[in-house]
Amino acid sequence: MPLLIPYNFPALGLLENDKLVLPEIKKEEVQVRIAILNLMPMKISAEADYIRLLANSPLNVEIKWMKLRSHISKNAPKEHMDKYYEYFDVQRNEHFDGLIVTGAPLEHLDFSVVDYWQELTEVFNWAHEHVNSTLYICWAAQAAMFHFYQVPKYLLPKKMFGVFPHHLLVKGLPIFQGFDDEFFVPHSRHAEVRREDILKANGLELLAESDYSGVYMAMSGEGKEIYVTGHSEYEPYRLDTEYKRDIRKGLPIEMPMHYYRDDDPKNEPVVRWRAHSSLLFSNWLNYYVYQHVHLHP
């Protein structure tokens, strides 16, 4: 599980209970370079989520953190962003094998009024031309599907919040290697994309969905872009943290569905998505980023 990341990177402190072993590797030993455009407000928590999953691979992976000039994070210390993140217009001149673009709490806004929308679409276009595969998560998946295919997003009457069963619509793809017929994914979002719009988009393929939470994964370019609407990367207590945060703020929020044991928030979560989350990221790294096969049955 070798990763090349900065020494004493703060997110590593959140991974002590995971007992991750991260052998030191040298720059010349790196096999895969991944850039992560982290748009999540709680930067360090999101960093830990992705480190945990990208470390679960035999590949030697270097992770570089990306930021945008047109956006200043309100929740992350400036010192952290200055020390560990580089601007996109600098990183675009480097070689990367893969890119991850995270979610962001912007679903209530039209894409065109997001302050960094123009620069973000430059990232999308750059990745399409220069990166083997890009993994778009939650709001980023909605944004990228809108940019490339004009797939609209729709506000939901209430937050899609909980852990839901999903099934595959296309079997035999490398991204689903080892998946069960039914698998679970956390969702935490106020908007959705709809299957009928994806099915009408030429070049966009719907791969997996849930009877309750709807579209989960779509793909274009045989894996050039992979769009994931849920938060497979979430650690076990993330939905609990979000739920209790919103309660403290007095926001209208219902208890996350199918999450707490016996549906009681006094109990611990029932964790049933982490095995497939690990498969998702290891399959993406191996088949779409490293081997760059883009196989289709």
Amino acid (one-letter) located at 238: R
CB-based contacts of 157: which residues, under 8 Å, 6+ apart? none
**Catalytic-role residue among 187, 231, 235, 276:** 231
**Catalytic-role residue among 233, 235, 242, 276:** 233
Report the distance separating Cα 114 and Cα 122, nearest Å: 14
Four-point Cα dihedral 223, 6, 72, 101, nearest 10:
10
Tokens of 151: 């797939």
Does an H or E element contain 212, and which? none
**Catalytic-role residue among 62, 138, 209, 276:** 138
Report the distance separating Cα 217 and Cα 187, nearest Å: 12
Tell me if residue 196 is catalytic.
no
CB-based contacts of 193: which residues, under 8 Å, 6+ apart? 141, 142, 145, 151, 152, 153, 154, 214, 215, 229
Tell me if residue 190 is catalytic.
no
Tell me if residue 231 is catalytic.
yes
Cα–Cα distance list, 89 to 10, 129, 133 (Å): 25, 15, 19
Residues that are catalytic? 138, 231, 233
